[in-house]
Amino acid sequence: MKIGQFVKRNAAAIFQYCETSDPSEFARLQDPKYSKEIFDINYPFCKPVSKIAPEEHVRFYNATHEVHGVPVRVTSQWFNPPTSKSLPLFRQYLAKREIAHDFNPQPDSPPVEAKERAARGRYRGSAIGIAQNAFVRHLLGRIGDEQFNADQWQEVISDFDQRCAYCGAAGDLVMEHVIPINRTSLGEHRLGNLVPACRSCNAVKADQDYRDFLAQETDKIAAIEAHMAKHDYLPIGENQRLRQIIELAHQDVRQLADRYAAIVDTMLGDQEDKA
């Protein structure tokens, strides 16, 4: 499959990830520098329709997506290997964020049965995967009763001398979950699990373990772990009972979707029989 087709098929899943899991990612995807680093493209991944100049329209696909109430279009400036590394980078981007993706090419003329299923609105596997991952992140984000405010977050940034906790760069810093919030790592949205990071490190680290990402930089690892201890943050990843509950919740979402898909199919089948 060509990179352009792959991007168009998965753009909606990426924007859903922005809305349900990482709102700040939407802003990053509009940054040309970030898009160059992550996707090896020379335009921002997406751009608000209102900011696309007349001469730029040819650089963006016609389809419009609404994200956080903002209509945007995705850039069409993608090139296939070996001209560009965009295809493997795009797949890596989806995998690191656990965004279920559609890579298999569709036949030009799908069988009649497939057409009937699509007409009935049967769920696609990729949509279920997005829902499952979003629910797990939502659940992990609600564990405990810790709350913090903007002033407390600014104190954390000050503790790291207004610099990225990973590379030490100053400038535009974002919240970074040291232990990723996903069903593998079981991170939480708590102050002890948040450090300031530059956009580049935030994107490249993604769902990596912070110790693997920092490799031999023991001073930075020690600083992060001191921050965790200061805020009494104890990672819950080794709690096997909790891990089992999270896995059960992940499975329940699919079972719930299957249950209601069957109900809808039965209802539509009854209507067809009466027609």
The crossing angle, in degrees rounded to 10, of helices 3-20 and 125-141 is 30
Q: Alpha-carbon distance 12 to 37, whole Å? A: 21
Instruction: Tell me the per-residue pLDDT of 164-208, one tens digit each, with 9 for 90 and over.
Output: 999 999 988 999 999 988 877 888 888 999 999 998 899 888 888
Write down the pLDDT at residue 122. Answer: 45
Write down the pLDDT at residue 106. Answer: 45
Q: In the chain, what is the straight-line distance between the N-terminal and C-terminal CA atoms, in Å?
A: 41
pTM score of the predicted model: 0.47
Q: Which residue has the tokens 């530059």?
A: 198
Instruction: Tell me the per-residue pLDDT of 42-67, one tens digit each, with 9 for 90 and over.
Output: 999 999 999 999 888 889 999 999 99
Mean pLDDT, rounded, for 206-231 = 92
Domains and CATH numbers, the chain: 3-105 (no CATH), 150-230 (1.10.30.50)
Task: Count CB-CB contacts under 10 A for residue 268.
Answer: 14
Q: Please provide residue 80's backbone torsions phi and psi, each rounded to the nearest 5 degrees.
A: -80, 160
Residues whose CB falls within 8 Å of the CB of residue 83, separated by 6 or more in sequence, listed in order: none
> Which pLDDT band holds residue 118 (cuts at 50, 70, 90)?
very low
Average pLDDT, the chain: 83
**Cβ atoms of 21 and 134 closer than 8 Å:** yes
Residues whose CB falls within 8 Å of the CB of residue 22, separated by 6 or more in sequence, listed in order: 97
User: Token pair of 231, please?
Assistant: 């805020």
Residue 243 has pLDDT above 90, yes or no: no
Three-state DSSP string of 195-225: EEEEHHHHHHHCCCCHHHHHCCCHHHHHHHH
> Which pLDDT band holds residue 37 (cuts at 50, 70, 90)?
very high
Element spanning 61, H or E: strand 60-67
